[in-house]
Structure 1
Amino acid sequence: MPVCSAVLLELTAAERHRLKKMAYGHKTPHQARQRATIVLLAARGRSNARIAAETHLHVDTVRRWRGRFAAGRVPALADRKRSGRPPTFTTLQIAQVKALACQLPTETGVPLSRWSCPELAAELTARGITDSISASTVRRWLAQDALKPWQYRSWIFITDPDFRAKAQRVLDLYARTWQGEPLGTDEYVISADEKTSIQARCRCHPTLPPGRARAMRVNHTYGRGGALAYLAACGVHAAQVSGRCEPTTGIDPFMSLVTQVMSQEPYASAKRVFWVVDNGSSHRGRKAADRLSAAFPNAILVHTPVHASWLNQIEIFFSVVQRKVVSPSDFTDLAQVGDRLRAFEDRYNATAQPFQWRFTTSDLDDLLARLDRHTLADRHQESSAALAA
């Protein structure tokens, strides 16, 4: 019988590029690499027997993948769908698992604060939903809908009746606007606050630097060397920070910070300087605003809404301080803490850039609308529960 000649293959530039990536890619599966190599060699006009010898594959394997590519091109190199083993669990059981994961354990009578995959697997078996199931199977099903019932995030209701108006004032200042008018070149915005209780923890054994296959090691046992407060004010658009260390927070330490900043240029001769602060006891209410304007007539105190310190940009700087200076705390005494903070302040100011603040008034409106929808849904649920009772 005559032997069938090998199928002649001609590749486009795109196919050749894709096949080369498959054949030489470090993360390409071994079988896909072999199939791409077969096609590339066949496109060079080599016979099936020669390709089999070079790739150490059976000639029937070379013939099969050469023919499949000729019929279906690159997509044909993938494995065909197989029937496989019939599913062990039904779609209804999978839906019941996800529904249980979306309920609080206490609502179902289980004395747990949060579900874990092993606990969910045990509960499913106890309820008779499944005969037996592994925690890894439950985790795989939950991952399909990005469900992680073992995690939680905290949140807080908006209690300030003037939340939007106060938040908009702050956001407008970040955009260099006040009461609908753009700020002048001699008007500035400052974000200020206190970082309390920075402790001087003297480790009982020296901290070890990182080494080969070893992270930095900090001894767990320490001696307490006291704590101090770090007060800082940051020019929102100039990104320059001025800070000071005090034994504690209060009106006098905060006014000392204000005096330190306002006695320097360009703030001393500025037309207006807006101080954005939260509602801490050191600068709360109308009395604090009057006290600031009495000491410095060109200074205007602007409060963020209650429970909205996240609108104060100085909190971003404090998070940088926490990551790069304070943690892990290993200081011999409070003097070393103060020296480190002042040195970092100089280092930060040398290369600082304004924060890229992206939360605008439009985002604020979207946030409030979303919270209103949640509030209405909660009230409807409470009223339904009351009627049912």
Structure 2
Amino acid sequence: MGRTREIEVEITEENLSYLRQVSQSRTEQVRRVERANILLLHAKGLGSTTIARELKISVPAVTRCLQKAKEFGIHVALDDFKRSGKPPRLTPEAKTWILSVACQKPKDLGFSYELWTVRFLAEYIRKHAEEQGHPSASHISGGTISKLLKAQQVQPHKVTYYVERRDPDFDAKMVQVLHVYQQVEWKLENNDFVPLCDVMLSYDEKPGIQAIGTKSPDLPPVPGQHPTFSRDYEYVRHGTLSLMAGMDLLTGEVMGSVVDRHRSKEFIDFLKMLDNKYAPGLRIQIILDNHSAHTSKETRAYLETVPNRFEFVFTPKHGSWLNVIESFFSKMTRSFLRHLRVQSKEELKERIEQYLKEINENPVPFRWKYGLESAAR
């Protein structure tokens, strides 16, 4: 039997420089470095057998590389041809069916579960694949389902919340609120500006403030041993209180009333407090929500006794974020109420009133920015 004819590959100086760069690289794939070395040794005149011995690889591997380089060029010879791969087991119809099942709630299919887990979904798919005409999914794994859902950006095990717009007059009411904030902004920028109302307030209630006490005293930090305050896990509930608060939008002062309940009676008492605070004849404009106490028969009856004293601007339903006082409540929750412990409801009331007093020592007006450009048109 005759000797195998050597494959001749023409390699230019430019290609040699490229091959040397690949062979000396520390980041290239091993197979590309190996094939670059095959071509470099071939350029020196070595035969396939010698190259295989030098690189400790098989002669057919050297031959395939040289043959590819001769037919398709140096750059193509360094990489593998794209392969068709293993035929997919899941048919497109089966994938569509799996996604349609994932987008339904398990309870709608007769189960107690509200949402799917990957394991639960995989079990359901395997059990019903044959009867639904998708035998390719009868042995599907949870991992395959997870990859399919991820590729389609479907997460049937999670819930994200949204707010349904239930107020048909949402935009109109929002503009009314923004008009108040626009007048506040103009007044703060130019003291000579005369707003429609003399006093502008943002009002709301913060219900359910818990009076929680400890059964054992807190322990202070100890340098080098205990970096934080230490607190016993057991606690005592003493009840809850509500804070009724109104913020003067021009001065930043917060008027508050701590009460057990926030009914029409308490709201009317708060209005009377405002009536006593501000000089007679000033018109007080209040931004507030649609709580029943704000529109009750008792409240309307009181407003008739003080005509032209108060003007209510109601936020739209699910539009509490438009009320500045909510930002104050949020800050209060994150700073003052966080980890608060008291021994009674009376102490909680005193602490809240002290907090309001401290806030009012250096009041800062909240300057609303969102939507003011459109409101000014």
Q: With structure 1 as the length reference, what TM-score do the two structures score? A: 0.58
- Over aligned residues, Cα RMSD in angstroms? 4.7
Query: Highest CA radius of gyration, 1 or 2?
Result: 2
Aligned-partner residue type, residue 320 of structure 1: K
How far the C-alpha of 1:205 sits from its partner, in A, is 4.4
Q: Which residue of 1 aligns with 2:237?
A: 224
Deviations 1:175-221 (A, max 9, x none): 339xxxx9628634311121122121113345678999999876553
Contact 1:168 1:361 in 2 (8 A): no
Cα 1:116–1:172, aligned 2, differ >3 Å: closer, same or farther?
farther
Partner of 2:366: 354
Would the aligned equivalents of 2:201 and 2:246 in 1 still touch at CA under 8 Å?
yes
State the identity as a percent: 24
With over 3 angstroms needed to count, the CA separation of the structure-2 counterparts of 1:97 and 1:313, relative to structure 1, is farther
**Contact 1:275 1:302 (C-alpha < 8 Å) held by counterparts:** yes
Against the structure 1 CA distance between its residues 231 and 121, is the aligned structure 2 distance closer, same or farther, given a 3 Å change threshold?
A: same
Q: Of the candidates 143, 162, 178, which is equivalent to residue 171 of structure 1?
A: 178
**Residues 218, 270 of structure 1: alpha-carbon distance in 2 compared, 3 angstrom cutoff:** farther
Partner of 2:302: 291
* Contact 2:264-2:298 within 8 A present in 1 as well: no
Report the Cα offset of residue 98 of structure 1. Answer: 2.5
Tell me, yes or no, if structure 1 residue 304 matches structure 2 residue 304: no
Q: Counterpart of 2:176 in structure 1: which amino acid?
A: R
Written as runs of structure 1 = structure 2, the 5 A alignment for 1:105-120 is 105-120=106-121
Looking at structure 2, the residues matched to 300 and 218 of structure 1 have their Cα atoms a distance apart, in angstroms, of: 47
Which structure carries more relative contact order (alpha carbon 8 Å, separation 6+)? 2
Give 1:337's aligned residue: 348
Amino acid at match of 1:283: H
Q: 1:7 aligns with which of 12, 17, 27?
A: 17
Taking the aligned partners of 1:291 and 1:270, their CA distance within structure 2 comes to 17
Residues 351/303 of structure 1: CA separation in 2 closer, same or farther (3 Å cut): closer
1:152 pairs, out of 127, 149, 159, with: 159
Write the distance in 1 (CA, Å) between the matches of 2:335 and 2:84.
53
Question: Helix, strand or coil for the counterpart of 2:351?
Answer: helix
Cα distance in 2 for partners of 1:204, 1:279 equals 40
Contact 2:197 2:283 in 1 (8 A): yes
The equivalent of 1:191 in structure 2 is 202
| Alignment correspondent of 1:35 | 27
Distance in 1 separating the partners of 2:92 and 2:220? 53
Q: Deviations over 1:74-106 (max 9, x none)?
A: xxxxx9996596355454444333322222223
1:95-152 residue CA offsets vs partner (Å, 9 max, x unmatched): 3333222222233333322222222222222222523444454344333444332333
Distance 1:285 1:214, change over 3 A: same
Q: Find the residue that maps to 1:225 and give its secondary structure.
A: strand
- Aligned partners of 1:289 and 1:300 also within 8 Å: no
> SS of the counterpart of 1:302?
strand
Aligned equivalents of 2:183, 2:168: Cα separation in 1: 25
Give the aligned length: 296
Match of 2:287 in 1: 276
Q: Which residue of 1 aligns with 2:101?
A: 100
Match of 2:8 in 1: none
Q: How far apart, in 1, do the equivalents of 2:164 and 2:150 lie?
A: 30
Partner SS for 1:150:
coil
Supply the AA of the counterpart residue of 1:345: L
Q: What amino acid sits opposite 1:228 in the alignment?
A: L
* 1:221-260 equivalent positions in 2, closer than 5 A: 221-236=234-249, 238-260=251-273
Look up the match of 2:126.
125
State the SS of the aligned residue for 2:247: strand
